[in-house]
């Protein structure tokens, strides 16, 4: 069966086993770029202890790397949909300085977006499930199912790798939908119509609502180009809640898109090195992670910093495809604690929490 508009054509249509990601999606920072970044950091620190919202192109001035980052949205929109920056001398910088560099680079694209009811501008992707058992999925260990986040561009900076495993797993969402259009047009129709979504409970309590107002499409083509959004975690929460019942066909469609996204025929695994920064076009790439073996001490565990960015020059997503609305972000932002995302503050809070829990048990 032929479906109008399919197969989708784009450099971002690829299958992992056929793509050498180091040839198409790796940028090794050279000495001039590293010097530019270092000078930007030194200027920022000369201004005193600035909080994340104060890190801007004015306070973190860059030359060649500023031009590189301004071009990032265009590169992600016209290429394979992902980019890994490699070469930051991790041993030369503290955790907090790595965050400053990360946010400084990202500021040339947009201001970082709020990610949860905590108002956090940077998410700490680290297993803290033994201290915060109700944490969201990215704060728990092990593998992670394929999904997309609620932003245009997602960034991940690696502070520490796992003892073993924990690779970034990505697939081309466009290739996934091509396969579904060819083999399961019934599933495609359901995903185009959309599924109900549910936020995590705390995120919902601090937002306009816990559930999506209606069905949220997983793919649209009304903006003149395909826009994919695969919030599989939010869909699973809605399905399990029983408050927005899924039909058997909808449940099967969710299972099928997850299955194809995670198929060895489609995914590729990118191993992180400490200091790497990965950027993904969230409209065409679906991502997850492989299982891993981690350290016992929180300060030694696999630890990535997550940033959500907007690409203002891209066409706007259709309103019905946007789950987290501006008002939700505004409500979440009210809860932000200044400097809370800095790794030293983050780790100190976890250690206090751990100490308090041990005291209760004693």
Res 190: pLDDT? 98
Is the model's pLDDT at 361 over the cut of 50?
Answer: no
Alpha-carbon distance of 50 to 99, in angstroms, equals 12
Structure tokens, 194: 């959309």
The average pLDDT across 116-132 equals 91
Is the model's pLDDT at 262 over the cut of 70?
Answer: yes
**Least confidently predicted of 99-103, 124-128, 129-133, 169-173:** 129-133
Alpha-carbon distance of 52 to 308, in angstroms, equals 13
For residue 211, the 8-state DSSP code is B
The average pLDDT across 291-312 equals 94
Q: Which residue has the higher pLDDT, 358 or 203?
A: 203
Res 358: pLDDT? 56
The average pLDDT across 233-256 equals 97
Listed in sequence order, the DSSP H helices in 55-132 are 64-70, 72-78, 95-106
Which run of H or E residues covers position 193? helix 185-193
Average pLDDT of every residue of the chain: 94
Structure tokens, 81: 């949909």
Res 242: pLDDT? 93
> With pLDDT > 70 as the criterion, what percentage of the chain qualifies?
96
Alpha-carbon distance of 58 to 47, in angstroms, equals 11
Res 349: pLDDT? 84
Res 212: pLDDT? 97
The average pLDDT across 308-336 equals 96
The average pLDDT across 218-236 equals 91
Res 74: pLDDT? 98
User: Helix or strand or coil: residue 1?
Assistant: coil
Peptide bond into 7 cis (omega under 30): yes
Q: Which residue has the higher pLDDT, 186 or 351?
A: 186
The average pLDDT across 53-58 equals 98
Alpha-carbon distance of 231 to 147, in angstroms, equals 6
**Least confidently predicted of 1-5, 48-52, 251-255, 306-310:** 1-5
Res 119: pLDDT? 96
Res 180: pLDDT? 98
Alpha-carbon distance of 305 to 88, in angstroms, equals 15
Find all residues with CB under 8 Å of 158, minimum gap 6, and list them: 272, 273, 274, 275, 276, 277, 278, 303, 304
For residue 315, the 8-state DSSP code is P
Q: Which residue has the higher pLDDT, 246 or 347?
A: 246
**Least confidently predicted of 8-22, 42-56, 337-351:** 337-351
For residue 195, the 8-state DSSP code is B
Whether the Cβ atoms of residue 60 and residue 44 lie closer than 8 Å to each other: yes
> With pLDDT > 90 as the criterion, what percentage of the chain qualifies?
86
Alpha-carbon distance of 120 to 148, in angstroms, equals 19
For residue 284, the 8-state DSSP code is T
Q: Report how far apart, in Å, the C-alpha atoms of 259 and of each of 31, 147, 198, 270, 281 are.
A: 42, 11, 21, 19, 21
Q: Report how far apart, in Å, the C-alpha atoms of 245 and of each of 51, 161, 180, 202, 250 are.
A: 43, 39, 23, 21, 9
Is the model's pLDDT at 362 over the cut of 60?
Answer: no
Q: Which region holds residue 182: left if phi is over 0, alpha if psi is between -120 and 50, else beta?
A: alpha
The average pLDDT across 50-79 equals 98
Q: Report how far apart, in Å, the C-alpha atoms of 272 and of each of 45, 104, 113, 303 are.
A: 27, 21, 24, 11
Res 222: pLDDT? 72
Alpha-carbon distance of 197 to 169, in angstroms, equals 23
Whether the Cβ atoms of residue 349 and residue 128 lie closer than 8 Å to each other: no
φ, ψ (nearest 5 deg) of residue 330: -65, -40
Domains in the chain, CATH or no CATH each: 16-361 (3.60.130.10)
Place of tokens 């930007």: 40
Alpha-carbon distance of 73 to 310, in angstroms, equals 9
Pairing between β-strand 285-289 and β-strand 168-172 as defined by DSSP bridges: antiparallel
Q: Which residue has the higher pLDDT, 354 or 15?
A: 15
Is the model's pLDDT at 1 over the cut of 80?
Answer: no
Closest residue by Cα to residue 82 from 141, 1, 9, 169:
169
Res 299: pLDDT? 85
């Amino acid at each position: 069966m032929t479906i109008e508009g399919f197969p989708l054509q784009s450099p971002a249509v690829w299958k992992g086993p056929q793509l050498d990601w180091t040839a198409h999606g790796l940028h090794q920072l050279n000495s001039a770029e590293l010097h530019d970044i270092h000078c930007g950091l030194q200027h920022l620190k000369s201004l005193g202890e600035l909080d994340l919202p104060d890190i801007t192109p004015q306070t973190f001035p860059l030359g060649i790397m500023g031009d590189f980052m301004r071009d990032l949205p265009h590169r992600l929109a016209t290429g394979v949909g992902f980019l890994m920056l490699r070469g930051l001398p991790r041993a030369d910088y503290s955790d907090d300085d790595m965050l400053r560099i990360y946010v400084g680079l990202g500021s040339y694209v947009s201001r970082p977006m709020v990610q949860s009811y905590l108002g956090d501008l940077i998410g700490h992707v680290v297993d803290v499930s033994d201290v915060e058992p109700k944490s969201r999925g990215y704060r728990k260990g092990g593998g992670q199912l394929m999904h997309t986040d609620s932003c245009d561009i997602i960034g991940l900076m690696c502070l520490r790798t796992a003892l073993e495993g924990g690779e970034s797993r990505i697939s081309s969402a466009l290739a996934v939908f091509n396969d579904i259009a060819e083999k399961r047009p019934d599933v495609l129709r359901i995903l185009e119509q959309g599924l109900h979504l549910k936020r995590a409970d705390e995120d919902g309590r601090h937002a306009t609502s816990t559930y999506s107002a209606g069905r949220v499409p997983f793919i649209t083509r009304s903006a003149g180009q395909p826009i994919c959004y695969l919030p599989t975690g939010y869909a699973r929460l809605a399905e399990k809640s029983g408050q927005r019942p899924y039909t058997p066909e909808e449940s099967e469609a969710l299972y099928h898109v997850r299955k194809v996204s995670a198929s060895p025929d489609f995914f590729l695994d990118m191993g992180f090195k400490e200091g790497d920064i990965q950027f993904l076009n969230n409209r065409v790439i679906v991502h997850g992670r492989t299982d891993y073996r981690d350290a016992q001490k929180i300060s030694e565990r696999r630890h990535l910093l997550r940033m959500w960015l907007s690409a203002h020059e891209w066409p706007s997503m259709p309103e019905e495809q946007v789950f987290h609305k501006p008002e939700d972000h505004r409500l979440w932002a009210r809860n932000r604690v200044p400097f809370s995302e800095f790794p030293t503050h983050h780790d100190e809070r976890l250690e206090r929490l751990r100490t308090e829990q041990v005291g209760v048990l004693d």
